[in-house]
Structure 1
């Protein structure tokens, strides 16, 4: 009678039973060189089963992986802390701006001096001019630069955005751009940072800190009317 017809099924093997069997029959393990090799073990003097090179190599590799992952996490945490500290300092610089042109100048300077970037730019859609030091965009250009009307930010390299950086465009290899909405009725604009390193801003990076700076620039710019 087979198992599906009500036959007797074998009970699952229990670790305690295996241990008891090996204790009672040590030659089963010590005499099977093939099994020892598979387990990465070897029989040392006095029939004592010892860790072999394979087992030690696995332990060493696991330790190396753990150490590498821990180091990567620590480096990421330090980088995030440094970026946040620099961003908070940048906010103080922005809030000290005296007018629109001073605001643009301060953003550009902090981009270079605090973050080691090529440039920081404020741009505004307008058909009648923009504040001194700001880049003027045509209507709908913010959507084009960001890749659509629903996108709030864009990280990475965008060839169409090189014009934002003027005569420094040749040294820009990656960008971070965030949409802004200023005054009432709202005027579309953006802030953009250019980096000389292709890995400075990448598509998989979060834009939270750049977006935070954009909100600060928005609120600061609204102190003064658009003339």
Structure 2
């Protein structure tokens, strides 16, 4: 069909409101045309009223099934989010009870394994000065190499970060990592969570809860100076 013919067809198409009025005023034309009713997925019932035919009922059933599936997915997502938030709030209480830097990183690792079912958590810190027991030392600029320059967080598998997990590295299939800045002047660091599942953390996931735990870790760690 040429563009001219197509434009002419659109210009001469009947107005939808007028078409409705026409059908209402001439209902008998629709009821007396079995082929048209069949094309529309309709049929006449015993009382001579237009009723849904099998095709129409199938479409309604399919729509209801899709809506039910979408509702179940939304409900499951809401339950998962609520559970994750509840576990995160409980984790904060655990972290705030830490007695020193070593106890803090131990508690973070327990939060990861016991509350979230992960392989574990690790904390690494840049700088020439010593790091607390249980923390991993990094050279200056290594945080940018792990996360990416100026990036706050990184989700998904990233092989250069496996070394952060020590003897647990073989069981880490994906990671969630967030940048830390502790003390004044700030020392750059990384808080990393490892998952045993390749899809445990993926690049398209949000990192709000991980970032929140990172901020809690920073503030708690600043209670004590590095000796």
**TM-score if structure 1 supplies the norm length?**
0.89
- Residue 30 of structure 1: how far off its partner (Å): 3.0
The separation in 1 between residues aligned to 2:129 and 2:21, in whole angstroms, is 85
- Residue 14 of structure 1: how far off its partner (Å): 4.8
Structure 1 partner of 2:179: 179
The separation in 2 between residues aligned to 1:102 and 1:10, in whole angstroms, is 76
Paired residue secondary structure (2:26): helix
Q: Aligned in 2, Cα 1:86/1:37: closer, same or farther, shift over 3 Å?
A: same
Q: Aligned in 2, Cα 1:106/1:10: closer, same or farther, shift over 3 Å?
A: closer
The alignment status of 1:191 with 2:207, answered yes or no, reads no
Structure 1 partner of 2:22: 17
Tell me, yes or no, if the aligned pair for 2:23 and 2:30 is still in contact at 8 Å: no
Q: Aligned in 2, Cα 1:191/1:18: closer, same or farther, shift over 3 Å?
A: same
Q: Aligned in 2, Cα 1:14/1:30: closer, same or farther, shift over 3 Å?
A: closer
The alignment status of 1:97 with 2:98, answered yes or no, reads yes
Unmatched tracts of structure 1, length 5 or more = 1-8
1:19-57 deviation line (CA, Å, top 9, x unaligned): 0122xxx1x223433321221112334543321110000
**TM-score if structure 2 supplies the norm length?**
0.89
The separation in 1 between residues aligned to 2:188 and 2:13, in whole angstroms, is 74
- Residue 128 of structure 1: how far off its partner (Å): 3.4
Structure 1 partner of 2:5: none
1:46-77 deviation line (CA, Å, top 9, x unaligned): 54332111000011011111111111111111
Paired residue secondary structure (1:205): coil
Unmatched tracts of structure 2, length 5 or more = 1-11
The separation in 2 between residues aligned to 1:11 and 1:103, in whole angstroms, is 73
Q: 1:1-227 to 2 correspondence within 5 Å?
A: 12=15, 13-22=18-27, 26=28, 28-45=29-46, 47-148=48-149, 150-227=150-227
Count residues in correspondence. 214
